[in-house]
Amino acid sequence: MIVYLDTSVLLRVLLGQRPLLAEWGDWERAYTSELAGVEARRVIDRLRLDGALDDDGVVAAQEQLAKLEAGIGRINLTRVVLRRASLPMATAVKTLDAVHLASALLLQERRGISLVFATHDAQQATAARALAFTCIGT
């Protein structure tokens, strides 16, 4: 299985939240948008500002994120991705979710592969299924 990981899946692993993706690590290859790193780092900083993470917690989260990123292929935020994300979609899709969907679509088309879309966000899963992705995580 080749999987596209939405940020929600990475954050659960990063923050030790349950339930984790049942299929975590059971893939041939995993990809995500470089947007996921931005989103995850914003969450880490927000948790620091809210007092939920102290300095050691921030360092641990940053190190864990770097390890996660090292094992996942990243799709660059290009003009093509952003243009694709701005096109109409079959369901209601938030802006950052549209970037993830566009990234997955373009990767699938350009590589001629079939991706499984992993997310813990029900609305994102609906949008992904509307685009003919098989979804896991919801």
pLDDT tens digits along 117-132: 999 999 999 999 999 9
Exposure string of 102-114, with b = 16+ CB inside 10 Å and e = fewer, is: bbbbbbbeeeeee
Q: What is the pLDDT of residue 67?
A: 96
Q: Kindly report, residue by residue over 5-39, the tens digit of the pLDDT.
A: 999 999 999 999 999 999 999 999 999 999 999 99
Note the pLDDT of residue 1. 96
- In angstroms, rounded to a whole number, what is the distance separating the alpha carbons of residues 71 and 84? 26
pLDDT over 90 percentage in the chain: 99
Nearest to 37 by CA among 98, 100, 110, 84: 100
Q: Domains in the chain and their CATH numbers?
A: 2-136 (3.40.50.1010)
